Amino acid sequence: MVRRNRKWVEETTDPQVSGMCNNSSVEIPIKVVLSYVEEERDGRSTMSHVVDAATVAWPSPIIHNHRASAVHIMRIITSVGCSSLFLCMVTALPFILASSPPQNVLYRDGSLSVERSSADVLISEQATFKAGFYQVGENAFSFAIWFSETLDRQKTVVWMANRDWPVNGRGSRLSLRKGGDLALLDADDSVVWTTATPTTTTSAGAGEVAELWETGNLVLLDGERRVVWQSFDNPTDTLLPGQPLTRSLRLVSRAAEGIYTTGYYVAHFNDDNVLSFIYDGPNTSSIYWPYPDRSVFQNGRTRYLLHHF
């Protein structure tokens, strides 16, 4: 009986994409769209209302990561008459929403929720790295990147966006906003961290898509796929293979094992262009490597090294 009731799904799905999804997967978005489409234009719901309803009905990673595409398709559907409705749904909606999306991508208007932290994660192409909300305390989370596979239960975190300002475990989210910036929003919608800051390039508000690359680099790309912001240019306490440490950047230790707030040990290039490790505590600051009482040349260094490590 169920098969007969769902035969209309098979009959209305484009054969070219039917193998990419099952009938129950296609049935959900079609019913959601139909329930919010009216003959009269004035009676139709807003795009955000339609997509929010689809978000509830559809499995989290698919609709949330393809929110921008869903909005575009639903704009088409609600802008035409009902005579053209099935044509739009059959040719576009099943293909966009029912196929499995890349797990390493977040599109504009998309978001990752702290309340779905186990599902709302970005996974690099070969699953070496994951990015998502990482619990750093009781009801306290940071947006982080970590190795997917570790020898112990604790994740090996390699980068954090908000190491000193954790967000609430309810209502917080990472969003790729309409302005094109990645923003970490707390439960009260206050911006805790964003790529659109004075420390980023002037083009950092032009992002169309965020991707987690297999290198562990979280990148924000514009419409031409040019990098407008990347986590490799904003390190915390870890340097990954292929990640440069330039004269303008600093590696700063965590406070202690398992405590991810900013610590007191810093690696950076000093005024002589020499890579130095310093202790930068609350009451004193001093170089401890290379040996501070020796000259640059006595330490086997030169002021004319390339400005990267």
Q: Are 237 and 253 in contact (CB under 8 A)?
A: yes
Burial class (CB in 10 A: 0-12, 13-18, 19+), 212: buried
The band of 40, judged by pLDDT with boundaries at 50, 70 and 90, is: low
Residue 8 has what pLDDT? 63
Instruction: Answer for the pair 243, 251: CB distance below 8 angstroms, yes or no.
Output: no
Span 217-223, mean pLDDT? 96
What is the pLDDT, as a whole number, of residue 300? 67
* pLDDT, tens digit (0-9, with 9 covering 90-100), for 129-140: 999 999 999 999
Sign (positive/negative) of CA torsion 77, 83, 88, 94? Answer: positive
Residue 90 corresponds to which tokens in the numbers above? 């059959």
Per-residue pLDDT for 5 more than 60? no
For the cut 50, the answer to whether the pLDDT of residue 307 exceeds it is no
Under a CB-based contact definition with an 8 Å cutoff, are residues 129 and 146 in contact? Answer: yes
- The rounded Cα 219 to chain-centroid distance in angstroms is 8
Phi, psi of 25 (to 5 degrees): -70, -40
- Mind listing the pLDDT tens digit for each residue in 238-263? 999 999 999 889 999 999 999 999 99
Q: Is 80 exceeded by the pLDDT of residue 65?
A: no
Whole-angstrom Cα distance, residue 253 to residue 305?
24
Which range, of 10-14, 19-23, 119-123, 211-215, averages the lowest pLDDT?
A: 19-23
Cα separation, 132 vs 111, in Å, equals 11
pTM assigned to the model = 0.66
Report whether 221 contacts 234 (CB < 8 A). Answer: no
What's the 3-state SS for 140-171?
EEEEEEEECCCCCCCCCEEEECCCCCCEECCC
Q: How many CB atoms lie within 10 A of CB 98?
A: 24
Residue 82 confidence (pLDDT): 46
- Count CA atoms closer than 13 A to 227's CA, side-chain side: 12
Q: pLDDT band at residue 270, thresholds of 50, 70 and 90? A: confident
Mean pLDDT value across residues 266-289: 89
pLDDT digits (tens, 9 = 90+) for 150-175: 777 778 999 999 999 999 999 999 99
Query: Is residue 75 predicted with pLDDT exceeding 90?
Result: no
pLDDT digits (tens, 9 = 90+) for 49-62: 555 555 544 444 44
Q: Average pLDDT of 219-243? A: 96
For 176-194, what is the mean pLDDT?
A: 96
**In whole angstroms, what is the distance from residue 48 CA to residue 9 CA?**
25
1-5, 215-219, 300-304: lowest mean pLDDT where?
Answer: 1-5
SS (H, E, C) 282-304: CCCEEEEECCCCCCCCCCCCCCC
Cα 279 to Cα 274: distance, rounded to the nearest angstrom: 16
Give the pLDDT score at 132. 97
At residue 231, the pLDDT reads 98
Average pLDDT of the residues of the chain: 77
Give the end-to-end CA distance of the chain in Å, rounded to a whole number. Answer: 66
